[in-house]
Structure 1
C-alpha cells in the first residue's frame, strides 16, 4: 500500500498553488503589467486543473467509489462542496481577469481576498474528502474498480496530460511524486511530462521562481 493516493497528491498541488497565488498577490508590484499577465497565465492553468479535477471526480471517481461501497449520501455532500468551491473559483476568475487588465494595487488586493475565500472553501472540502475517501483509495489500491477509474482519467490528449504532470509535480514532495508517477510507466511519463509538459515549464513554472 502506498503512502498516499494520487488523489491526495493532486490535492497537495492545489494547496501549493493557492499558497503561491496568495503570496504573489500580497507582494504584487502595483502597475506591473508584465507580472499581472504572468500571474493570469498561471491562474488559467490552475483554474483549468481544479475544474477538471472536481468535474472528473463527479463523472468518473464517484461511480467507481460507489461500487466500492462509499455511501451515495456522502458523495452527494461532496458534490455540494464542489458547487461551493466552483462559485468561489468563478469569483476568483473574475478578480484575476480584472487584475490582468489593470495591474492595480486595488485589484491585486481584491484578487487576494477572492482567492483567500477560495482557499478556505477548497481546503475545507479537501480535508473532508481525504478523511472520508483516502482510506478507501488506499484499501482498494489495484482493484478492478480503481484500475478502470484510472483508465478513464487517462483518456486525455498528450498536451493536456503533459501539462497536468508538469503542474502536479512542480514542488511535489518525494511521497507526492511517487503517488503521481507510480501508475505510469517511466518511459511513457518521460515522454508525456518531458515533451508535452514544456508549455507549463516555459509559461507557468517561472511565475513561482520570480
Structure 2
C-alpha cells in the first residue's frame, strides 16, 4: 500500500512530460523541441525525462501519436451517413487540415520521421486503422460509382496529396517581409481550396 503514492507520482510525472512535449509541438513545431526545453516546460529534472522515455525520438514519437489520436473527430465525418459522400469527404478533409494547421510542422514531420513515429510495423498497422482508410475508399466508391480497388486507391492518394501538400509547404515556409509565407501565403483559404479541388476533380461524377 505504501508504494501506491509513489506509483501514482511516477505516472503523473511521465504524463506531465508527455503533455509538455505535446504543448511545445503545438506552440512552436517539432524542430525546436529539445529535451532541456521539455524538462523546463514540464518542471521536472532532465534525468527524469531520459529515465521515462530513454531518448528524444521515443518521446517525440509518443507525443506525435498522441496528437494523431486527436484527429479522430475529423474521421467521424466519414461516418456521418446523413450526408452525401462528397460532403462527408470534404468535411473530413477540412477538419483534418484544421488539426494539422494547429501544430506547425507536424505534417512534414509525420512524413520525414514516419519510422520514428510509428516505431514498428505493428504500430503502423494500428495507425492505418486509425486513419479510417476503408471509410475514405467507401465514400469515394459511393460518390464515383468506381468499383476497381486499384483505381479507388489511386484516387485516394491523389486526393490526399493535392490537399495536404499545400499544408506541408505552408507550415514549412518562413514569413516574408509582409508577414506572408511566400507564394502559399497568397492562396485562398484551405477550405476554399478543398471546394475548388472537388469541383474540378469530381465534376464528371455530378448528376
TM-score, normalised to structure 2, is 0.34
TM-score, normalised to structure 1, is 0.34
**Which protein is bigger by CA-based radius of gyration?**
2
Higher relative contact order (CA 8 A, sep 6+): 1
Query: Per residue, is there more helix in 1 or in 2?
Result: 1
